[in-house]
Structure 1
Amino acid sequence: MTQITPLRLNAPAYGWLLGLSTLAALALISHHPTASVGHPEDGLNNILAVAAQGRHVHGALTAMLLLFATGFSGFAWRLGISHPLVMAGWLSYVGGSLVMMLAALFDGFVIADIAARMADQRQAAFDLIHFSGIVIQALARLAFVLMALSSLLWGLALLHRKGWTRGLGLLGIVVGALSLAFLLLTAIGFDVGRLLIYMAVQTVWHAAVALWLIRTKPE
């Protein structure tokens, strides 16, 4: 089997970045605002009431997504980005991160702006917000599928390794498969509760990758 020479980088720094940003993201998600939008009149007022908090949370989550992508990029580079499965996993994760940033843009900023700027056209605003919610759900599900696929691909890439690294690969396969099953078999709606369940599963993978990077000697 052809051996891929890993690129040289400070792996522990990427590990700490990934681990700490994961903890921060979990704290942010627990403060994710929710607003009941069942009726145009009350719905717009409820959205405006949590608009400021929503901007702060989604802005911070976007920053966490960038940190995640940086941490996992270090992981992919350390494994050897020229390996097809590693490259596919990296592209899948980065693609998922970009899609999730778009979902956060809609959820934290676009919906609040619609409610604020179309206050005198409540029914039209309500319809646009409802449509935006459908877009957010579709984007979030696609993003999570791509991210789950990345852990599965990286797990497969690590199966030929030995010891702790092979164990990490097996974990990636299990986490990826469970996450994909959860995403593809559950109902269309994706609320904060389901988001926390998904993040809890992914946190195990994040923590394992972060620990693997931290324990890797700088090159």
Structure 2
Amino acid sequence: MNIIAINGSPRKKGNTSTLLKKALEGAKAVGAKVELINLYDLNFKGCISCFACKRVNSKSVGKCAMKDGLTDVLNKIIECDVLILGSPIYLGNVTGEMKSFMERLLFMNLSYDGGHSSNFNGKISTAFIYTMNVPESIMIEKGYENVFKSNDKYLQLLNGPSEYLISNDTYQFDDYSKYNASDFDENHKSYIKKTQFLIDCQKAFKLGVRLSNDFSNK
């Protein structure tokens, strides 16, 4: 079994990366082959609307015709069994890199025949890990979950089940006194990091185990 995790955060040692690594640890613990890919290491763009993936009798039908740093990654993904995405929430949505990645992955698999069904012939189980500075109450107030549900729906173009894990109220700075961030209480953030974030890490580990086991039991 092959599991790929995509880190949509610019930080390789931040909250999002930590949770993705925990998920991969869980998957590896039950025998999966795992790989972590950092989007910010790659040179790529979002969809350029060339429609080559939908052109009649084209070799690119169901594939992205663009050639850049994302090409090999997309080829790996369509051969994997489980895909785990991770992104911090910036301005109420995933990062620009993650959005561009999703455009490239999902639009090539979106069919314009049959009510926006899928061109994809395989089946990939997916999960999305979201991290954010705001607590759950603000997340709900701002309607962030609409974004999560929308992404969940589009990931089902890969023909497998999709789920998501949310980590709220994350710790952002090594030293809050060095930044203009008076809206946040460092003591509270430190407490959450030592308590709830550890629970979130356990959830991510179990997510990796469950996704691997669910696929193996099919």
For normalisation by structure 2, the TM-score amounts to 0.28
Name the structure with the higher helix share: 1
Name the structure with the higher strand share: 2
For normalisation by structure 1, the TM-score amounts to 0.28
